[in-house]
Amino acid sequence: MAILVDKNTKLVVQGITGKQGRFHAQQMIEYGTNVVGGVRAGKGGEWVLGKPVFDTVKAAREATGANCSIIYVPAEGAADAILEALDAEIELIVCITEGIPIQDMMKVRAILDTSNSRLIGANCPGLLTPGQAKVGIMPGYIATPGPIGVVSKSGTLTYEAVYALTQRGIGQTTCVGIGGDPINGTSFLDVLQMFEEDPNTEKVVLIGEIGGTDEQKAADFIDKHMTKPVVAFIAGQRAPAGKTMGHAGALVEGNVGTAAEKIEKLKSVGVKVASYPEQIPDLIMQ
Amino acid sequence: MNLHEYQAKLRFAEFGIPVPRGKVAFNANEAYEIAKELGGVTVVKAQVHSGGRGKAGGVKVAKNPDEAREHASKILGMDIKGHTVNKVLIDPGANIKGEIYLAVTNDRAARKPLIMASSEGGMDIEEVNRTAPEKIKRIHINPLIGLRSYQITELASGINLPHDLWKQFEKIALGLYECYAASDATLCEINPLAVVEEYGQTILKALDGKMTIDGNGLGRHPELEALRDTSEEPQEEITARESDLSYVKLDGQIGCMVNGAGLAMATMDMTAHFGEQYGIGPANFLDVGGGADPEQVAAALRIILSDKNVKTILINIFGGITRCDDVARGIITAMNEVPTQLPIIVRLIGTNQEEGLAIINSANLTNMTGAKTLYEAAQKAVEAVRGAK
């Protein structure tokens, strides 16, 4: 068992003919993900990596029965790509693209809230269910199957944590990157709920960062609804206020969203908070 | 990206919002000329990207052009919270009867635009927000349909605005929302939206303006990108933006080069974790990007080295899709292009890490040391700074 993606995922790649899309499509296929086709307007009928290319997501879905889409489209067209996938009623949409304007994402959000689809990201590394499916850009070899659910706002920091777990022989059910944008499709709460309900997940690692109040809300959720232990790490303790730290969402506004505030809140509900990423496996094993 | 007050007000005017007909001066004589042209009482206002200008003495009323010159010569060159003032706005004085606060911003938690108004506008709006938040009326806007008239009515009645001003208020609120939506703004703020007496009439006027633009939206607004004022930005941050690197200058001694924003923050935190007791910390945040190719690495090195506070460099790369041997070659190439004698701690982990470390070791750079973990790398970097002192 796992959450969100597994052996039954039928994946279509939006932007499969681009440099990033093609490279990562190949990596996903090599990992064993069931990639059923790609989408690129104007290239329908062509073949890439032995997979059929379609002009639209709807056509791809009708021909292949795809239930999941991954988006490697540049920022200016990414919101449109998400809306297209929503319109085609794809159940799970994962958007890797970084740099989508916030107002575009607010409009996407308004449509998303009235649909039955789920969006992961944008500006995220995607999903990895070790041994079953990789939908995104996480390096497959760093993970191994096991009982830990991982949810994170960051890319390489997630790799660091997952790799540290794997090195110590602790495997993962699913690793979920929800992305570093201020407005995203799936929150910590959504994923925590899924891990709580997943019978194979025993413990959860949550990796957050400065900016916004998602981690504080996650703490409230953990307090009220989680029976499984959670270990957390929060990046950006030394970040100055008013400066965006790489991720558009990583911004301390006034006194809102500091690492100290988040760490304190998580600790107050019994979450063990690691001082540095490599300490996460120690806390998981306690 | 922040706009200056005068830039924001010009933009507001394009959306039908009444603003004073002031002009910008770069020296005291220009201030005199503008004040003379405007006639009567004027206000001399520092144009810097910092709040609290009034309280810092950066805003002064001048009775005549000579006084405007005097104030301008004092305000120009003034330091306001670390920002040097190099231009002032000269606005005509106003007969103010009341001050309203009006703003449109992104509500991150609600994932919607938010319009806010208060009858208690002016310098202490933050204090009002802290002590009496109920005095600020807030209404969420559906981004698909925009701001509606009935919502503005709700806002106007919520702040007890006199009925005779409602029509003006509606036009201004709609203009402000349109300006926000058409500019990819994250904030459009009028404070104060003043109730002024002019030629026997009571009108609403935006005496001050603030706008922040979403960096990710700037690509489709070249006219706003052109308003960027680089004179207040550290040179390193300008160079970084031009090289597509994400960089923020800090005041420590350890120059950090990392791939990925989260890991870059974690690396900064780690150096402070070990260094704090000795007054040692990170000199910067720098995300070299997922690829970390030689050109990017060289550009990053140049930026880090241009900061004279830097005593040690810490390179922390997690090779995910990127291969550590490629990154190692990039580092060595960059070292040849940008030679330095500063101690460099390199930590490469992930895909092909052994090959990567072998390349670093075989380059025989005496100032370069490898590290296996982030913990060890941060410790070594702090030790190196202490050794250099």
How far is the C-alpha of A260 from the C-alpha of A108, rounded, in Å? Answer: 32
Average pLDDT, chain A: 94
CA distance B1 to B263: 24
Give per-residue pLDDT as tens, A9-64: 999 999 999 988 999 999 999 999 999 999 999 999 999 999 999 999 999 999 99
Which residue in the block uniquely carries the two structure tokens 């306001």? B80
Coil, helix or strand at residue A133: strand
Give the C-alpha distances (Å, rounded to integers) separating A62 from A12, A65, B386: 11, 6, 64
Check the CA dihedral A163-A169-A170-A174 and report its sign. Answer: positive
CA distance A84 to A72: 14
pTM equals: 0.91
Backbone angles phi, psi at A38, to 5 degrees: -135, 170
Q: Which of B214, B263, B268 sits opposite A238 (nearest CB)?
A: B268
Q: How far apart are the first and last CA of chain A?
A: 24
Common-topology check for domains A11-121 and A138-285? yes
The count of residues in chain B is 389
- Among A28-32, A246-250, B235-239, B266-270, name the one with the lowest average pLDDT: A246-250
Q: Is A98 helix (H, G, I), strand (E, B) or coil?
A: coil
DSSP code at position A5: -
Q: What is the pLDDT of residue B3?
A: 96
Q: How confident is the model at residue B291 (pLDDT cuts 50, 70, 90)?
A: low
Q: CA angle, B210 as apex, B204 and B215 as ends, to 5°?
A: 145
Q: How far is CA A147 from the centre of its chain?
A: 18
Write the CB contacts of A72 (distance below 8 Å, at least 6 apart in sequence). Answer: A13, A14, A15, A16, A18, A20, A21, A24, A96, A97
In this structure, are strands B312-319 and A126-129 parallel, antiparallel, or unpaired? Answer: unpaired
Please state the length of chain A.
286
pLDDT at position B182, please? 97
Q: Is the pLDDT of residue B324 over 70?
A: yes
Residue B225's pLDDT is what?
94
**CATH class for domain A138-285?**
alpha beta
**pLDDT single digits (tens) B67-109:** 999 999 999 999 988 889 999 999 999 999 999 999 999 998 8
Mean pLDDT value of segment B28-32: 97
- The residue written with tokens 């308003």 in the block is B227
Are B168 and B204 in contact, with CB atoms under 8 Å apart? yes
Average confidence (pLDDT) over A252-263: 86
B307 touches B255 (CB < 8 A): yes
* A135 or B353: which leads in pLDDT: A135
For residue B328, what are the β-bridge partners?
Answer: none
Residue ranges and CATH numbers for the domains of chain B are: 1-20+95-232 (3.30.470.20), 21-93 (3.30.1490.20), 234-388 (3.40.50.261)
Q: Do A163 and B113 touch (CB under 8 A)?
A: no
Question: From the candidates A86, A115, A160, A258, which should be mutated to test the interface with B, based on the most B CB atoms within 10 A?
Answer: A160
Which residue type is seen at B383? E
Closest partner residue to B285 (CB to CB) among A107, A155, A246 is A246
Would you say residue A169 has pLDDT above 70?
A: yes
B331: region left, alpha or beta (phi > 0 left; psi from -120 to 50 alpha): alpha
The model's pLDDT over A66-109, given as tens digits with 9 standing for 90+, comes to 999 999 999 999 999 999 999 999 999 999 999 999 999 999 99
3-state class (DSSP) for residue A205: strand
Contact at CB, B320 and A110, closer than 8 angstroms: no
User: How far are the Cα atoms of A126, B63, B327 from residue B319, in angstroms, in the given order?
Assistant: 17, 65, 8
Q: What is the mean pLDDT of residues A215-244?
A: 94
Residue B290 near residue B311, CB atoms below 8 Å = no
Residue B288 pLDDT class (50, 70, 90 cuts): confident
Q: Does pLDDT of B231 surpass 90?
A: no
Please state the rounded mean pLDDT for residues A147-155: 95
Confidence (pLDDT) at B389: 59
- B177 a catalytic residue: no
Task: Band the pLDDT of B167: cuts 50, 70, 90.
Answer: very high
What's the first-to-final CA gap in chain B, in angstroms? 37
Cβ neighbors of A61 (< 8 A, separation 6 or more) are A12, A88, A89, A90
Of the candidates A24, A40, A247, A265, the residue annotated as catalytic is A247
The predicted structure's pLDDT at residue B334: 83
User: Three-state SS for A95?
Assistant: strand
The pLDDT of residue A155 is above 90: no
- The helix/strand/coil state of A77 is helix
Cα–Cα distances (Å) from A152 to A100, A121, A234, A236, in that order, read 19, 11, 10, 14
Q: How far is B14 from chain A (nearest CA, A)?
A: 21
In chain A, the percentage of residues whose pLDDT exceeds 90 is 88
Q: What SS3 string covers chain B?
A: CEECHHHHHHHHHHCCCCCCCCEEECCHHHHHHHHHHHCCCEEEEECCCCCCCCCCCCEEEECCHHHHHHHHHHHCCCEECCEECCCEEEEECCCEEEEEEEEEEEECCCCEEEEEEECCCCCCHHHHHHHCHHHEEEEECCCCCCCCHHHHHHHHHHCCCCHHHHHHHHHHHHHHHHHHHHCCEEEEEEEEEEEEEECCEEEEEECCEEEEECHHHHHHCHHHHCCCCHHHCCHHHHHHHHCCCEEEECCCCEEEEECCHHHHHHHHHHHHHHHHHHCCCECEEEECCCCCCHHHHHHHHHHHHHCCCCCEEEEEEEECCCCHHHHHHHHHHHHHHCCCCCCEEEEEEECCHHHHHHHHHHCCCCCEEECCCHHHHHHHHHHHHHHHC
Contacts of A101 in chain B (CB under 8 A): 184, 214, 216-217, 220
Give the pLDDT band of residue A220 (cuts 50, 70, 90): very high
Q: Cα–Cα–Cα angle for A78, A79, A85, nearest 5°?
A: 90
Q: Can you spell out the DSSP letters for A169-189?
A: T--EEEEEE--SSSS-SS-HH
| Minimal-distance CA residue of chain B relative to A109 | B111
- Sheet-wide strand order for A203-209: A133-136, A126-129, A172-177, A145-152, A203-209, A230-235, A272-273
Assigned superfamily of A11-121: NAD(P)-binding Rossmann-like Domain (3.40.50.720)
Task: Provide, as residue numbers in chain A, all residues whose Cβ is less than 8 Å from the Cβ of B272.
Answer: 237-238
According to DSSP, the β-strands at B312-319 and B254-258 are: parallel
Interface of B with A in 329-348 (CB under 8 A): none
Regarding predicted confidence, which is higher, B288 or B93?
A: B93
Interchain CB distance below 8 Å, A160 and B318: yes
Instruction: Enumerate residues 81 to 110 of chain B having a beta carbon within 8 A of any beta carbon in chain A.
Output: 106, 108-109
Give the active site residue among B30, B120, B189, B383.
B189
Q: Residue A243's pLDDT is what?
A: 84
Whether A12 and A60 have beta carbons less than 8 Å apart is answered as yes
Q: Which of A110, A235, A243 sits opposite B144 (nearest CB)?
A: A110
A115-124, B81-90, B216-225, B290-299: which range is least confident on average?
A: B290-299
Chain A interface mutation, best of B318, B327, B352, B379, highest count of A Cβ atoms under 10 Å: B318
Mean pLDDT, rounded, for A233-242: 90
Give residue A17's pLDDT: 94
Question: CA A162 to CA A140: how far, in whole Å?
Answer: 11
Within the 126-165 window of chain B, which residues sit less than 8 Å (CB to CB) from chain A?
A: 142-144
- Residue B92 exposed, middle or buried by CB count within 10 Å (0-12, 13-18, 19+): middle
Q: Which residues make beta-bridge pairs with B280?
A: none
Residues in A closer than 8 angstroms to B108, CB to CB, are: 182-183, 212-213, 249
Break chain A into its structural domains and give their ranges.
Answer: 11-121, 138-285
